[in-house]
Structure 1
Amino acid sequence: MKALIPGAVFIGLRTVRRNQRARSLEYGFLKQLVIFRGFIDARSYEHVIRKEIKNVHLSVHPPTGRIRVAAPQRMTLEVLRVFAIAKLPWIKKQQKRLREQERETPREYIDRESHYVWGSRYLLKVVEGDEKPSVEISGRQLLLRVRRDTSSERREAILEEWQRELLHAAIPPLIAKWQKLMNTRVNRYFVQRMKTKWGSCNHRAATIRLNTDLARKPRECLEYIVVHEMVHLL
């Protein structure tokens, strides 16, 4: 088999059963994309995912810029090749943006560590004692009250639960506001950790899911994501 595009390095494919071969062809296709003329390396790709969808969804994920393609079941590999090759400049731009993006250092949940609440920066103040664990804002400090010898993992869990409470207080009024304006209905919402998305929508169940990290962003960001997901229900 020849390389798909000039300058691409061909990744050999061994003969396998028919359905496995189709999947292997897709793997090789994406490998060619990511090593084409300076695209990071083969770790940047993820296989093509076939779904019962109408359109192709191409995404580039942090932190390495890996590529993920969700394609309709009926779409041939040749059509998918043309689509992805046309998107090469966009892929490279997104990967460059991710490489240049500042990364937060891992949190240790210790004194004077920076944390964000609704887009504002606060310095963490850990208060150890025998009181029930709690979190509150005091001036420019984020007070985290914990019992003595509480691990960093437990401190993280306490802070995340507090973030969930903030979101559970903020989300229902936003949904109520936009249900009237958009003439639609959200049956239920969920708040959870999400690695690669700010939100998602199940239009059949009329439910939306929102990332717990939205409590760290400005309130306008939360409202934008809520509206964005509700648009899928129209």
Structure 2
Amino acid sequence: MVIREEIEIEGISIILERKDIKNLYLRILPDAIVKVSSPKNLSDDAINDFIKSRIDWIQDTREKILENPPKPKIKYKDGETHYIWGEPFTLQLISNENSKKAFYNADDAVIYLPVPKRSNIKQREKILLELYREEMNKNLNYFLDKCTYFVGCEPNEVKIRNMKNWGNCRKDKRVTLNLKLAKKPPICTEYVLIHELCHLIEFNHGPRFRALMDNFCPNWRGIKKLLNEGE
């Protein structure tokens, strides 16, 4: 049997659970709640001393969690917010046997996601990712013309795919861009493409490469930070 109570030490609310265990255990949950598991017969003074000995760590850890709360898990359900070119859209699921592609209304800021009956998260994600792929392919020439003009060189090929990195460049001058760039503000795609085009001149990330980036995309460090926010 577990005896559960709530105590407060130095202004911090703590859930204390007394169990049939031999040792004291302390953990902080993802929502910053502090939990302590204790042997049933251990005195209150011993429990308090144990918690106070870890109070600095508890406070620091809770502050970090509260400053950077965990992102809620994406479920691709009605009412969720998703982004197209940095703009927020509300997701709306629809039953549509004639259409298997997601589409959106920019005026209403709604993404319509046609889904089969009893669809799971992976199926819904795949449909939305195809919308991002379509957006990237539709706008690729615009980005490519603009960025190759800045850098002064062209890749042999540009592909769009779902991958872990935002982009990559091979020594055979083939560039790949992440389809999820279509979620980000357009300037992020420009930054990634300029980054990869600079690799056509300097393959490494050394001083010469950074000098190229400073020349062709002076605010690239700020854009890089923007790109990785929320990821």
Q: TM-score, normalised by structure 1?
A: 0.53
Map of 2:82 onto structure 1: 115
- Are 2:101 and 1:167 equivalent residues in the alignment? no
Distance in 2 of aligned mates of 1:232 and 1:166: 25
Map of 2:71 onto structure 1: 104
Distance in 1 of aligned mates of 2:179 and 2:66: 24
AA of the residue aligned to 2:75: E
How large is the Cα RMSD of the aligned pairs?
A: 2.3
Q: Map 1:1-234 onto structure 2 (within 5 A).
A: 101=68, 103-138=70-105, 139-195=108-164, 197-202=165-170, 204-234=171-201
Distance in 2 of aligned mates of 1:102 and 1:171: 35
Distance in 2 of aligned mates of 1:152 and 1:107: 8
AA of the residue aligned to 2:196: E
Gap regions ≥5 residues in structure 2: 1-63, 202-231
Q: Does structure 2 conserve the Cα–Cα contact (< 8 Å) formed by 1:125 and 1:144?
A: yes
Distance in 2 of aligned mates of 1:102 and 1:137: 30
* CA separation of 1:135 and 1:224: change in aligned 2, threshold 3 A: same
Give the count of matched residue pairs.
136
Displacement of 1:150 in angstroms is 2.6
CA deviations over 1:22-62 (Å, ceiling 9, x no partner):
xxxxxxxxxxxxxxxxxxxxxxxxxxxxxxxxxxxxxxxxx
* CA separation of 1:146 and 1:163: change in aligned 2, threshold 3 A: same
Q: TM-score, normalised by structure 2?
A: 0.53
* CA separation of 1:169 and 1:129: change in aligned 2, threshold 3 A: closer
Distance in 2 of aligned mates of 1:201 and 1:102: 34
SS in 2 for 1:194: coil
AA of the residue aligned to 2:123: R
| Percent of residue pairs bearing the same amino acid type | 28
CA deviations over 1:141-180 (Å, ceiling 9, x no partner):
1111223333221111011011011011112222123323
SS in 2 for 1:134: coil
Distance in 2 of aligned mates of 1:210 and 1:142: 23
Distance in 1 of aligned mates of 2:144 and 2:89: 28
Q: Does structure 1 conserve the Cα–Cα contact (< 8 Å) formed by 2:82 and 2:89?
A: yes
AA of the residue aligned to 1:153: K
SS in 2 for 1:147: coil
Q: Does structure 2 conserve the Cα–Cα contact (< 8 Å) formed by 1:131 and 1:147?
A: no
Displacement of 1:98 in angstroms is 11
Gap regions ≥5 residues in structure 1: 1-96
Name the stretch that deviates more: 132-141 or 214-223.
132-141
AA of the residue aligned to 2:126: A
